[in-house]
Amino acid sequence: MPVNVHIKEVDTSRLTRRFAAMSKRASDFRPVLRWVFQELQKAHRDNFKTQGSVDGFPWAPLSPGYASWKLANYGSGGILVRTGALESSLTFDNARGAVREIGLTTASFGTNIPYAKFHQSGTRFMPRRKPVFVPPVMALRTATAV
C-alpha cells in the first residue's frame, strides 16, 4: 500500500547560507593563488639547485671556456646564476624583478629580469635553459586545492 507524504514547509536557510558561502569562495581565488605562488617558488628553488632537473629538462652544461671564465669571475654559483638576480626573482616574493600579481580569479607569476627571456628561449649563441616553468603536477594540485 503506497504511503503519501506531504511536505508543507522546509527550512532551507542552512542550505541557502552554504550556497552563498560557496559562491563567495568561487569568486575569490586569492587564497589558492597565494598557495600556488608558494609552491611555484619551491619548485623554482629546487630547479635552480638541480640545474633544471625538476621540470624534466636538465639545463645544458656551460661551454668549457665560459665555465672556466665564469668560475674565475663569479665563483661557483651554478648554471643561470651569476649575480643571483634571476634566481631570487623566481624564488622570493619581494626580490628585484619578481612578478607576483594576484587578482580575484587570475594571477601572474614570473620575472621581469631582462635577460630571462634569452635563457627561456635560447639564442643562436646560447642553448635554451628554461628558468620559468610550471611543474607537471601543478594543475592537478591546484584543482584539488580549489
Alpha carbon distances (Å) from 50 to 46, 57, 62, 97, 107: 6, 11, 14, 22, 27
- Over 90: is that where the pLDDT of 117 sits? yes
Lowest-confidence pick of 5-14, 48-57, 114-123: 5-14
Q: Quick check: 6 pLDDT over 90? A: no
Mind listing the pLDDT tens digit for each residue in 41-68? 999 999 999 999 987 789 999 999 999 9
pLDDT single digits (tens) 72-99: 999 988 999 999 999 999 999 999 999 9
- For the chain, the average pLDDT equals 92
**pLDDT computed for residue 11 by the predictor:** 85
- Quickly count: other Cβ atoms within 10 Å of residue 33's Cβ: 23
The pair phi, psi for residue 32, each rounded to 5°, is -70, -40
pTM listed for this prediction: 0.81
Looking at residue 8, its pLDDT comes to 80
Taking each helix axis as running N to C, give the angle between helix 30-49 and helix 138-145, from 0 to 180 degrees, rounded to the nearest 10.
Answer: 150
